[in-house]
Every structure is written in C-alpha cells, then in structure tokens.
C-alpha cells in the first residue's frame, strides 16, 4: 500500500531520524517522504542530516523524497549570501557550522541545495509547508508567511483552502497537535528533548502519527 510519510523538524537529530524511519517501516518502493523543513541548527549532526536527505533525493528522485525549506535553512542562506549571521547564530547556526567543519565539508554546497528547496508541496487533499498558512488561501501567503508565520495559530479559526500540515512551532507535549483552523503541526520538539513525529497517510486517506524519542546519541 502506498503511503505518504510527513516528518517534522529534525534540527540535526540524525540518529532520531533513522530511528523514526525504522519505526514507520519506511519503504523506498512504496512510500513518499515529505520533510517540512528545519534540517539544521541546534542539534549535533546537521551536516549528516543534510547529506542523508540529499542522497535520498539523488537515489529516489525529488518526487519520492520531498524536502521543503524551513526558516532555519533560510537563515543559513541569508547568512552566507547576505551576511546576516547574528540572527542565524542566535538560532543555533554555529552548531551547524561546527558540524560541517567536523566533517571537513564545505557548507556552501548545502546552502546551494537549500536555495533549490520549494516552500510548498501541494497535493489534492493537503498542503505541506514549514510554518502553515497565515491566510486561508495559499496564493495570499508570502514566502515569509510560509517560513515564519506563527501568530495566526493563537488567533485564527478560519479553515484553510485545504488541510495544512506544517512544523515550525514546537509542541509543548512532545506530540503533534491540531490547531483551531483544523491544521496539524508535526513539530514534536525533538531537538528540545521531545520526540520526532511522522504523520503517516495511507492511500485511502487514513492517517496516524508515529513518534520516537530523541536518541541519546544526538545529544552533545
């Protein structure tokens, strides 16, 4: 049975990601992976996570491994292309630089990859993006809304044009949560000691969330 497996914010937690793929019994033959962004920063293995995702895309294709851009990838782009290092460093960017240095790799290759990543994966039933939709119609949302929007979660109850699956605003309980608009946040706060979440959607539309705890190997 074909499945779509959407995975929340990883933030350099390589071993936890591998645990989660084992937990969901990921099959490259039948499953489509959708990563909602924030692969880097704060965690220990940002370089390795990026390399893993890039390799999966190269082996299986971007239609089977969908990698969306998160605000942390955008901060890295803005730092390297426009010198906006203070914001990135305040949000864990130095850990990412250290990870690439430890591996003897040029982070510039990752920055170039980040720049190719789309902001949205739009399916017939679900819109996937990093921060959710600030406004009900996808076309009314700016790139900043898709990468950074958060205030709408506390105030908005209007349904979006489709259900939205997003990350960016970590759960306080270590579980995915549904907001008042009916949309689902799958950032289960892994890097903060929570869990990494996969929303597994079957081809009949049924879905469930699966979780793994942060792997101790991902701690500094």
Exposure of 153 in the CB half-sphere (CA atoms within 13 A): 22
Helix axes 93-102, 46-60, angle to 10 degrees: 70
Terminal-residue alpha carbon distance, the chain: 39
72 counts as catalytic: yes
Per annotation, catalytic residue among 72, 82, 130, 168: 72
Distance (Å, rounded) from C-alpha 19 to C-alpha 200?
15
The DSSP letter of residue 85 is H
Q: Which residue has the tokens 């790799």?
A: 105
- Across the beta sheet with 120-122, what order do the strands follow? 120-122, 126-129, 163-166, 184-185, 177-178
- Across the beta sheet with 195-202, what order do the strands follow? 65-67, 31-35, 3-7, 195-202, 207-213
Three-state DSSP class for residue 189: strand
Residues marked as catalytic: 72
């Amino acid at each position: 049975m074909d499945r779509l497996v959407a995975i929340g914010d990883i933030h350099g937690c390589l071993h936890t990601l591998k645990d989660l793929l084992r937990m969901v019994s990921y099959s490259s033959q039948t499953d489509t992976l959708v990563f909602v962004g924030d692969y880097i920063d704060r965690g220990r293995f940002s370089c390795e996570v990026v390399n893993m995702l890039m390799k999966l895309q190269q082996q299986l294709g971007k239609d089977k491994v969908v990698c969306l851009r998160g605000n942390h990838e955008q901060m890295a782009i803005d730092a390297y292309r426009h010198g906006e290092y203070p914001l990135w460093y305040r949000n864990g960017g130095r850990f990412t630089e250290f990870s690439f240095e430890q591996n003897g790799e040029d982070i510039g290759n990752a920055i170039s990859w980040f720049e190719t990543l789309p902001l949205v994966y739009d399916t017939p039933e679900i819109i996937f993006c990093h921060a959710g939709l600030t406004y009900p119609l996808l076309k009314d949302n700016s790139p900043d809304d898709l990468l950074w929007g958060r205030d709408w979660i506390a105030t908005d109850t209007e349904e979006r044009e489709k259900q939205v699956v997003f990350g960016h605003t970590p759960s306080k309980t270590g579980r995915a949560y549904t907001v008042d608009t009916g949309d689902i946040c799958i950032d289960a706060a892994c890097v903060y000691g929570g869990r990494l979440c996969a929303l597994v959607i079957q081809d009949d539309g049924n879905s469930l969330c699966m979780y793994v705890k942060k792997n101790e190997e991902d701690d500094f």
